[in-house]
Structure 1
Amino acid sequence: MVPPTAATKKRKYDSKRAWGEARALILKHKRSVSIGLVLMLISRSSSFVLPYSTKYVLDDVLPKQDLRLLGMVALVGLATTVVQVLTGFALSQVVSVAAQQAIAQLREEVQGHLIRLPVRYFDSTKSGVLVSRVMSDPEGIRNLIGTGLIQLTGGILSAIGAMAVLIYLNWKLTLATVLPLAIFGVGMSIAFKRLRPIFRERSVIQAEVTGRLTETLGGIRLIKVYTAEDREKAVFGKGVQRLFENIAKTITGTSLTGTLGLAVVGVIGVIVMYVGGGDVMRGTMTLGSLLTFVIFIGMVTAPLISIASIGTQITEAFAGLDRIRELRDMATEDQEDATKAAVPSVVGRVEFDQVHFEYEPGVPVLKAVSFTAPAGTTTALVGSSGSGKSTMISLIMAFAQPQQGHIKVDGTPVSELKLRDYRRHLGVVMQDNFLFDGTVKENIAFTKPGATDDEIVQVAKIANAHEFISQFPQGYDTIVGERGVKLSGGQRQRVAIARAILADPRVLILDEATSSLDSESEHLIQEGLRRLRAGRTTFVIAHRLSTITSADQILVLEHGEIVERGAHQALIALGGRYRDLYNRQFQREQDQFINPGEEIAATG
């Protein structure tokens, strides 16, 4: 489902901070904004000439039958029209390009900040929400750097200028039209105040719906296997309905402001017709002045009506900036590491000292775990599902920190090291290997940008990947598809192993690194991994215990505690939990080898 989040319910829109963010953004692009404002002033000023010349033509030129003067007025009107056209075009070019540049820069900054946040943030936030923060929220700033803010400023200035002309033409009639305009202004103020939180909520809902859609597409095979299409459609439909209801509210609000504007225009028109017409009949106002007054009334009301639309867009932009600021206020790993020690080199001695860890308060995952992995040794982690093996690996990679105890590398707690420096000495092959949608070569070279073709081929051979890669028509330039979907599970793992080998890490983590390989490929890769492990501190989680018999130490975990530790032969001789696991797995593999049909029937 796509329920309202706690943030949606509790967090209030911070208008002061949003204004501060908008001000900083405008100052950053002040050159383009200043040029835009100048062009706007020229365009708006020139727009006054032709309407006001109407009064001059009707009251002075036509009564005198002066064709020469009429031609001059027409030329002036034409010239100001040309100025309007040119400045309008230049305005759109300058500010639109500047707005798109600002959007691109903001997206880069937000993405750069986002990917440096701690892993715990990604564990608790939907990917669709994060995509919306990077791609959708910056879009609104085009209404600040682009034409929106300039049009708003121009509309206000035009209205003020036109109001001055109206007062000059007939101040009594002008005063009669002020009351409807004041009512319109108050109405827009109330509308903006109520629309602002609705616009903010819309982006949150849209991000949640997008996140669910992303999950659905990513798990399409699972959905089809369990014929869950209708369920997923229903879940997505609920989210879309919430989005529709939100949009309907904003449509209603903006429609009301537009309707109010039309009503104001109608009321003002009636006032001008009745009062102005009476003044003309009494001779206190010329016909030219009345017609000019009508034109300038339009120049007052039209900008005010457009302000309703522009103001809504700017309100939406402020909401997006507020959400972006909320994200950028979160401390990145680099900021958290600012005062921590640099890690120029790693020998590889890893130590757990009374480590306690829990994801949820009161539900311990690791309990007083202590062990030492000397530099250059291999430590295997064994235990049933949920015993804490993957959590230990996560702690070694510094994706999380223990609530109690310390994890030390070369005698220094990981919590005191700069994580970017420390992770440069890590290599990892996970159970679920992630490949980018690029070539095989690009995926292997991901850990060492600029690696030569010879280096890539060499590590591919160690990982037993060179043979199948060479059989592709494009070889190492073969596109692997999103998440490596065009490769088999075993092929993806071999590419991931080659990628880890190329990193030349001091601490190597193998989390079910050979789980998707057949026995023959696994044997070949194990030989390569043995050479890779030489001189490196290695942690191995293996589903086949036969692959870890050469480990320097094996830690047997149950319910977050180490219940046995030692080398393979010593644990077998101990006759405890490890021997039980090993014998059971050995017997199962023997049964599969002798009569695979029975095994299939038993598990089917």
Structure 2
Amino acid sequence: MTPPKGKPKYDTRRAWAEARKLMWEHRRSVGIGLVLMIISRASGFVLPLSTKYVFDEVVPGKDVRLLGLIALAGLAATIVQALTGYALSQVVSVAAQQAIARLREEVQGHLIRLPVRYFDSTKSGVLVSRVMSDPEGIRNLIGTGLIQLTGGILSAIGAMAVLIYLNWRLTLAAVIPLVVFGAGLSIAFRRLRPIFRERSVIQAEVTGRLTETLGGIRLIKVYTAEEREKRVFGEGVQRLFRNIAKTITGTSLTGTIGLAVVGVIGVIAIYIGGRDVILGRMTIGSLLTFGIFIAMVTAPLISIASIGTQITEAFAGLDRIRELRDMATEDQEDAHKQAVPAVVGHVAFEHVSFEYEPGVPVLRDVSFDAPAGTTTALVGSSGSGKSTMISLIMAFAQPQQGAIRVDGTPVSDLKLRDYRHHLGVVMQDNFLFDGTVRENIAFTKPGATEEEIVAVATIANAHDFISQFPEGYETIVGERGVKLSGGQRQRVAIARAILADPRVLILDEATSSLDSESEHLIQEGLRRLRAGRTTFVIAHRLSTITSADQILVLEKGQIVERGTHHQLLALGGRYRDLYNRQYQLEQDQFINPGEEIAATG
């Protein structure tokens, strides 16, 4: 887990624009919140102002009636303040949670429409953090944070007006430390912003590593790597701790300075205010009221330190979300591309070259033609380019040179959502969602009937084992299908692909996890499925592709042989070598272990 390179950039202008957009979308709740806040803060002025009249008029004049009226006014103001405070928290808190939920939906919806290349280069834990953690900060914009900040500023302005009315000289002397404190806050927030932004980056990396660890827990236990994973995760947690410690230091320092400012202002008020009372420039009631209102000015400024850091963190989260949303989705890239109402299934590669990293070619000048309804098998050693060709057919990537045509049109000119509606795929690593068997089979056709689901499961030789489960098709398969065996997962995936009724079918090691009996039965089902569809098959078991219309043998990203099974055997080249080697391995599996030991003895 390496630290991020360089300091993350913070775009204040863009963050403010995003904040304004959010507040405008929730302007009704924010507006109601501001009104309630103003009423609450205004009612909070009643008791402090009554102090002056109590000590300057009620006590000297012994006016019990006026004292009662002031007390009633204070009680009424307290009730209003309590009620508006409660209503404020209810209105803005609900609005904030609604905004968080909506933003998460929007970010996730945008994220899953990004090109596959983005997911290939970004950890899933980082993406989870973008969707779940970054929107949390906006509670401080739509919720109580920003409204409290606004209320604090308005209260400070109102209190300042009262202070000037009471004693403008004393107010001027007390304001100087506040101005210095405000300037210090501005500098502190400017330095804290990049730290908050870096914190989310680190937290996303730590979350990503934890996600990987939990996903690979079986591998970790097999190789007794628990301590190693604990150490790697611990390093990330310590980086996160150091980042948080920096922000704690910054916010604590601003709070401490704020308390010091309050103390300095208190000293100024005691000395100058006491002197003015002695000289008759100020009454005792005015001095006591001044002390209360100076606290009403300083308290919001101190609270700004904590609220301000929360809002700064929210801006950093919005900035990261905006970075993600600025990335063009596949739909945006396809906006002006050709619609695909139907696909016949004629696929052709024309001098295709591809590389993931510049200067490291994976495919080199690959050309072949797969007429509609035919089966093309891809054979070769690991790393020869088979999976890359499949990825290009599914339009997960685009070739650097050449073209891939479907029914005569380059795939790069087609709307990918339309094109992929005509694809069906069974991958080597079959992914199942944590749901029921029925939901996983019906994933490609959510409205499928019971008869359709059972029919495709029967073709895939899955119906029998599904029926033996106590819950049948309602059986929960677990995360990534962990409650099913490898062969069972593969048969469910095959049934899912059959239900999609694709024009172009891709089978990537579709029978690799099956025993010989199940493989034979599924091959019959796949043979019926392939009828009338263009099929591409990657298979290490060469016995499963003997009926293919053409077999392409790849080595180092190039097609070195092509033809039918019998043609390639007769050719006596690379395919014959692979076939003989595999045939010998299969024969060795049937040797009686006892005989083998006797022979070697």
TM-score, normalising length: structure 1? 0.98
Offset at 1:10?
A: 5.2
1:445 corresponding residue in structure 2: 442
Offset at 1:62?
A: 1.8
Contact kept, 8 Å, 1:99 with 1:142, in 2: the verdict is yes
Aligned with 1:12 (options 9, 12, 31): 9
Alignment of 1:287-306 (within 5 A): 287-306=284-303
Mapped partners of 1:585, 1:539: distance in 2: 21
Offset at 1:401?
A: 0.3
1:394 corresponding residue in structure 2: 391
1:183-232 deviation per Cα after TM superposition (whole angstroms, max 9, x unaligned)? 11011011000000000000000000000010011111111111111111
2:147 corresponding residue in structure 1: 150
Aligned with 2:98 (options 93, 96, 101): 101
Contact kept, 8 Å, 2:462 with 2:491, in 1: the verdict is yes
1:70 match: secondary structure: helix
Mapped partners of 1:414, 1:186: distance in 2: 58
Mapped partners of 1:599, 1:224: distance in 2: 34
Instruction: Verify: 1:503 aligned to 2:493, yes or no.
Output: no
Mapped partners of 2:141, 2:210: distance in 1: 31
Cα 1:265–1:598 shift into 2, 3 Å = farther
Contact kept, 8 Å, 2:8 with 2:198, in 1: the verdict is no
Alignment of 1:317-332 (within 5 A): 317-332=314-329
1:55 corresponding residue in structure 2: 52
Contact kept, 8 Å, 1:377 with 1:538, in 2: the verdict is yes
Offset at 1:594?
A: 2.2
Instruction: Verify: 1:536 aligned to 2:529, yes or no.
Output: no
2:166 corresponding residue in structure 1: 169
Mapped partners of 1:22, 1:596: distance in 2: 72
Instruction: Verify: 1:115 aligned to 2:112, yes or no.
Output: yes
Instruction: Tell me the matched-pair count.
Output: 597
2:81 corresponding residue in structure 1: 84
1:304 match: secondary structure: helix
2:447 match: secondary structure: coil
1:264 match: secondary structure: helix
Contact kept, 8 Å, 1:96 with 1:147, in 2: the verdict is yes
1:508-536 deviation per Cα after TM superposition (whole angstroms, max 9, x unaligned)? 00000000000000000000000000000
Offset at 1:331?
A: 0.1
Aligned with 1:243 (options 240, 243, 253): 240
Aligned with 1:316 (options 307, 313, 327): 313
Contact kept, 8 Å, 2:354 with 2:361, in 1: the verdict is yes
Offset at 1:5?
A: 2.8
Mapped partners of 2:2, 2:530: distance in 1: 47
Aligned with 1:577 (options 571, 574, 578): 574
Instruction: Verify: 1:346 aligned to 2:335, yes or no.
Output: no
1:231 corresponding residue in structure 2: 228
Instruction: Verify: 1:198 aligned to 2:195, yes or no.
Output: yes
Instruction: Verify: 1:337 aligned to 2:339, yes or no.
Output: no
1:238 match: secondary structure: helix
Offset at 1:283?
A: 1.8
Offset at 1:471?
A: 0.5
Instruction: Verify: 1:3 aligned to 2:2, yes or no.
Output: yes
Aligned with 2:463 (options 437, 443, 466): 466
Mapped partners of 1:173, 1:360: distance in 2: 70
2:363 match: secondary structure: strand
Mapped partners of 2:596, 2:541: distance in 1: 17
Contact kept, 8 Å, 2:23 with 2:142, in 1: the verdict is yes
Offset at 1:459?
A: 0.4
Aligned with 1:429 (options 423, 426, 429): 426
Mapped partners of 1:553, 1:340: distance in 2: 32
Contact kept, 8 Å, 1:592 with 1:599, in 2: the verdict is no
Mapped partners of 1:238, 1:596: distance in 2: 50
1:159-198 deviation per Cα after TM superposition (whole angstroms, max 9, x unaligned)? 0110110010011111110111011101101100000000
Contact kept, 8 Å, 2:370 with 2:534, in 1: the verdict is yes
Mapped partners of 1:425, 1:258: distance in 2: 62
Read off the aligned partner of 1:453 and give its amino acid letter.
Answer: E
Contact kept, 8 Å, 1:425 with 1:506, in 2: the verdict is yes
Instruction: Kindly report the root-mean-square deviation, in angstroms, between the aligned alpha carbons of the 2 structures.
Output: 1.1
1:363 corresponding residue in structure 2: 360
Offset at 1:12?
A: 1.3
Cα 1:362–1:599 shift into 2, 3 Å = farther
Contact kept, 8 Å, 1:591 with 1:599, in 2: the verdict is no
Mapped partners of 2:487, 2:163: distance in 1: 80
1:594 match: secondary structure: coil
2:590 match: secondary structure: helix
Alignment of 1:244-259 (within 5 A): 244-259=241-256
Read off the aligned partner of 2:576 and give its amino acid letter.
Answer: R
1:138 corresponding residue in structure 2: 135
Contact kept, 8 Å, 2:116 with 2:396, in 1: the verdict is yes
1:21 corresponding residue in structure 2: 18
Offset at 1:434?
A: 0.2
Provide structure 2 residue ranges, at least 5 long, that are not aligned to the other structure. Answer: none
Moved more, 59-68 or 437-446: 59-68
2:522 corresponding residue in structure 1: 525
TM-score, normalising length: structure 2? 0.98
Offset at 1:277?
A: 1.2
1:38 corresponding residue in structure 2: 35
Mapped partners of 1:74, 1:395: distance in 2: 80
1:402 match: secondary structure: coil
Offset at 1:70?
A: 1.1
Cα 1:189–1:575 shift into 2, 3 Å = same
Mapped partners of 2:24, 2:306: distance in 1: 24
Offset at 1:595?
A: 3.5
Mapped partners of 2:208, 2:68: distance in 1: 65
Identity %: 85
Instruction: Verify: 1:480 aligned to 2:470, yes or no.
Output: no
Contact kept, 8 Å, 2:7 with 2:194, in 1: the verdict is no
Offset at 1:284?
A: 1.5
1:257-304 deviation per Cα after TM superposition (whole angstroms, max 9, x unaligned)? 000100001111111111111111222111110100000011000000
1:468-505 deviation per Cα after TM superposition (whole angstroms, max 9, x unaligned)? 10010000000000000000000000000000000000
